Amino acid sequence: MPTVLVTGATGFLGQHLVRELLADGARVRGLSRSPAGDAAVAALGAQPVRGHLGDADSLAAATEGASAVFHTAADTNNWGPGDAAQTETNVGGTARLIAAARRAGVTTFAHTSSVSAYSHLVHGTLREDLPQRGAESWINYERSKYAAERQVRETGLPFLVFQPAHILGPGDRNNWSKLIRLIDAGTLPGAPPGSGAFADVREIARAQVRAWRGPRRDETWLLGGEHASFLALIQEAGRQLGKKTPSRPMPAPVLRIYARALDLLSRLSRRPPELTPVAAAFTSHHLRVDSSKAERELDYRSTPLPQLLADTIAWLRAEGLLAPQSSVASP
């Protein structure tokens, strides 16, 4: 039975990955920073190991005896004052984890990157053979994900790189679930003008385990999903929640001006705004992803957006994160 380490084990993707690895017969360690994290890792059925990406000694202890590392932890901050901490986590933390994995003799480094490594500067449909432009971006998250991925490729360790698009699904407390909760509360200020590729978190986890169990290394897979405008996403969520939603998107220039105004006010209050200039840029962008390589090689599947939203909303409601259900439209 192989021993594997998962960083970000209690995060949105990490918890699904831990379950898939356990179901596949692996002995799973989950990196944890606190007693609450220990309990959450243990509740998943994995072994908690105390440590964090800023502590090289704890990473050395966590990787000792592991045959694989699944690195899902990342700082997804999108507000300027958090950029330095984000770089330290995403780039510095990945470098320390790679060094620990090399010393421990890890034979596979499975890295969850992002479509952001290509950057919003790349237009058209993303494919694995397109040049990445993350290093050129003004957005720190894109620069940090690009730099972290480059480090993984240059380690000499056998690697697997996964590049998910917009991730939806049960277990989401901090990502697109925020949008769903705003719709449910009737406080969504408007619909952004961009579009995205919406990936099922459960399929991403399954694809990572299949890739690890396969014979190939030093490979990259884009993991996209159904393409839809953010307006269509919002309207479908509103239909399922029984809530009114915008009939048209906000013009991109208006969204950007609004985000800059909120950013200036937030610099004075030192509290992150509800909408940052980075978030405005992301949601004004049109993202399309070609997942055909993962579909062929990893049996990766796209879940239809209405079903993916229904599963996410059902989980949010079961967790008490949405208002009590009254009369809602059938999904």
Report all structural domains of the chain as residue ranges with CATH numbers, in order of start.
3-172+197-228+287-303 (3.40.50.720)
Scanning the structure block, which residue is given the tokens 């992002």?
Answer: 114
- pLDDT (mean) for 94-101: 98
Other beta carbons within 10 Å of 193:
21
Under the banding of pLDDT at 50, 70 and 90, the label for residue 325 is confident
- 326: pLDDT strictly greater than 80: no
Within 10 Å of residue 130's Cβ, how many Cβ atoms? 13
Q: Hey, what amino acid is at 246?
A: P
Residue 98 corresponds to which tokens in the numbers above? 């790679």
Q: For all residues of the chain together, what is the average pLDDT?
A: 96
Which pLDDT score, from 0 to 100, does residue 96 have?
98
**pLDDT tens string 21-48:** 999 999 999 999 999 999 999 999 999 9
What are the pLDDT digits (tens) for 157-168?
Answer: 999 999 999 999
Pairing state between β 219-223 and 159-164: parallel
Helices (H) and strands (E) in the chain, counts: 13, 12
Structure tokens, 128 = 């694995």
Q: Which tens digit of pLDDT belongs to each residue from 186-243?
A: 999 899 999 999 999 999 999 999 999 999 999 999 999 999 999 999 999 999 999 9
Cα–Cα distance, 291 to 302 (Å, whole number): 9
Q: Does residue 330 have a pLDDT over 60? A: no
What are phi and psi for residue 47, nearest 5 degrees?
Answer: -95, 120
